[in-house]
Amino acid sequence: MTMVASDGYQSIDHKNLYSYLTTLPSSMLENLYKHPNPCLCMAIFRDLVPMAQKFVLRQLFIDQVLPKSALLAWITPDGRKDHDDAVRLLIELRIWSEAPSSAGLMGWKLNEHFRKGIQAVVVGGGPSWGGDVTPTAEETTPVDVAFLEKYARDQWEHVLHYLAGLKTRQTASHVVDVLATAGLVRGGNERDGGITQNGFRFLLMDTPSQVWRFVLSYLQTTQKWNMDLIECISFIFQLSFSQTGKHYSSSGFSDNQMKMLQHFRDYGLVYMRSGKRPSSRFYPTNLVMNLSGGASSTNASFAEGYIVVETNYRIIAYTDSPLKIAVVSYFSEMLYRFPNLAIGILTRESIRNALAKGITADEIIRFLRMHAHPQMRESSPILPSTLTDQIKLWEMERARFEFTDGVLYNQINSVKDYELLRNYANDLGVNVLSNNDKRLLVVTTEGHVPVRAFWKRQKKE
């Protein structure tokens, strides 16, 4: 099952931080490491695979090129794959570059700015990461974590409300812009373009993944607003190192950072007191905490359980939130609404509608499991297996064809020619299917060009 449905989605569908960073041009990464705040380097370092972290740390205070042969001596034969992965990652992130060592051997050179950043983290020094944290006189009434969580949830639900087409409040235009960049709503001139296939799937995700994808496409959108990408990324990292429940000063922030702060307030990533005069203090919420960890740092306890599903396909949602009911009704047929719960039923028809919208069976099942009522969670498996199996069966009956793009070679005259072509395609790994009796061969679209070239060469000889 492919996770990527359209190009707009693909571009923001990065699982973690570095898969996003590697798409940036190298000059951009260089500037990122140059940033005076070492928290950037730390955020990247923190997310490296252990092997890569070790390489960087060992090299941290050695001011010379590390020969490749020396590096290989560090690892056991079993660790070869990890080594290769780590090296590739470090090169992709431009942390390592190839350079000749003093003895003339080829080796790896640690990016100077990255080295300085990590050194500052290890031995101290450099500017404060999160800005000023000392409480001032105006903070006589501290904001507690429970309040921040509720605030974050409300604001984030508001974003989702717009996406789900429930227009309860006025939605800021920048929210719409970001959603359109992410390909979740149909953007462009008609503002009320409505939700796309990916939008439906987005609504079924857990909140940390949603926020992560949203912030990535926010970064893309900032370029449209002519904001400096480096500044934006560094600001997000800075936020991700802050603590919820504490407050930070925005004094000394640039215009762009203030603008982002205002935006993030609308998404529920930070809270700012509203008063007669704008407060210079802001409170990061739990939504912003896991950002640098990417979508992988999913906090399962974040999802509230409110759904009960029974073996007779009944689905009961203990909620009064129109958003939650709307999401549940994407794949179920709503029967009754009560003040505190809604009852629906999963039918072949309702699941088919969801599948036709581009939602997959796995996404539905994951959603149900994630939001299962605490009482459901006590049983094992959490969801009745008749139900999960049936949802999968309904999906499978739609997928009885398996399509593979390819190029067919047929009417090959001699067995010799056929075997020549087939073996060549096998060697390249592009042979999708071959039939010896009918002497035909299907190769992948990419494989067509080399195979054709090979055939032309053969014909001449």
Partner 1 sequence: MVNVSKGVLVKCDPAMKQFLIFLDEKEELGKRFIIQDIDDEHLFISKDVQEMLKERLDSLMDKISISAGIKEGER
> Shortest gap between Cβ of 178 and partner 1 (angstroms)?
31
Q: Which long-range contacts (CB under 8 A, 24 or more apart) does 335-344 make?
A: 341/316, 341/317, 342/316, 342/317, 343/314, 343/315, 343/316, 343/317, 344/314, 344/315, 344/316, 344/317
When the beta carbons of 295 and 412 are compared against partner 1, the nearer one is 412
When the beta carbons of 173 and 413 are compared against partner 1, the nearer one is 413
> Shortest gap between Cβ of 387 and partner 1 (angstroms)?
12
> Shortest gap between Cβ of 413 and partner 1 (angstroms)?
5
CA dist 45 and 61 (Å) reads 16
3 state DSSP class of 8: helix
> Shortest gap between Cβ of 437 and partner 1 (angstroms)?
9
CA dist 424 and 428 (Å) reads 6
> Shortest gap between Cβ of 101 and partner 1 (angstroms)?
50
Residues near 64 by beta carbon (within 8 Å), at least 6 away in sequence: 101, 102
Contact 270, 247 (CB under 8 A): no
**What is each CA distance from 384 to 22, 350, 361, 368, 447, in whole angstroms?**
42, 18, 15, 11, 45
> Shortest gap between Cβ of 385 and partner 1 (angstroms)?
17
> Shortest gap between Cβ of 120 and partner 1 (angstroms)?
56
When the beta carbons of 277 and 416 are compared against partner 1, the nearer one is 416
Fill in the DSSP letter of residue 269: S
Contact residues: partner 1, CB under 8 A: 312-313, 333, 335, 345, 347-349, 352, 356, 397-398, 400-413, 417, 421, 432-433, 435, 438, 440, 442, 445, 448, 452, 455
Structure tokens at 360: 């997959």
Residue whose tokens read 């036709």:
356
CA dist 334 and 174 (Å) reads 33
CA dist 246 and 254 (Å) reads 21
> Shortest gap between Cβ of 444 and partner 1 (angstroms)?
10
When the beta carbons of 274 and 404 are compared against partner 1, the nearer one is 404
Tell whether omega for the bond before 322 is within 30 degrees of 0, i.e. cis: no
When the beta carbons of 87 and 440 are compared against partner 1, the nearer one is 440
| H-type alpha helices, 279-360 | 286-289, 322-328, 348-356
When the beta carbons of 4 and 433 are compared against partner 1, the nearer one is 433
When the beta carbons of 17 and 387 are compared against partner 1, the nearer one is 387
Contact 73, 65 (CB under 8 A): no
> Shortest gap between Cβ of 448 and partner 1 (angstroms)?
8
CA dist 152 and 299 (Å) reads 15
When the beta carbons of 63 and 437 are compared against partner 1, the nearer one is 437
Contact 149, 283 (CB under 8 A): no
When the beta carbons of 243 and 312 are compared against partner 1, the nearer one is 312
> Shortest gap between Cβ of 342 and partner 1 (angstroms)?
14
> Shortest gap between Cβ of 411 and partner 1 (angstroms)?
4
Residues near 57 by beta carbon (within 8 Å), at least 6 away in sequence: none
When the beta carbons of 277 and 400 are compared against partner 1, the nearer one is 400
When the beta carbons of 380 and 403 are compared against partner 1, the nearer one is 403
CA dist 264 and 262 (Å) reads 6
Distance of CA 370 to the CA centre of its chain: 18
- 319 φ/ψ angles, rounded to the nearest 5 degrees: -160, 155
Residue 247 CA neighbour count, 13 Å, CB half = 22
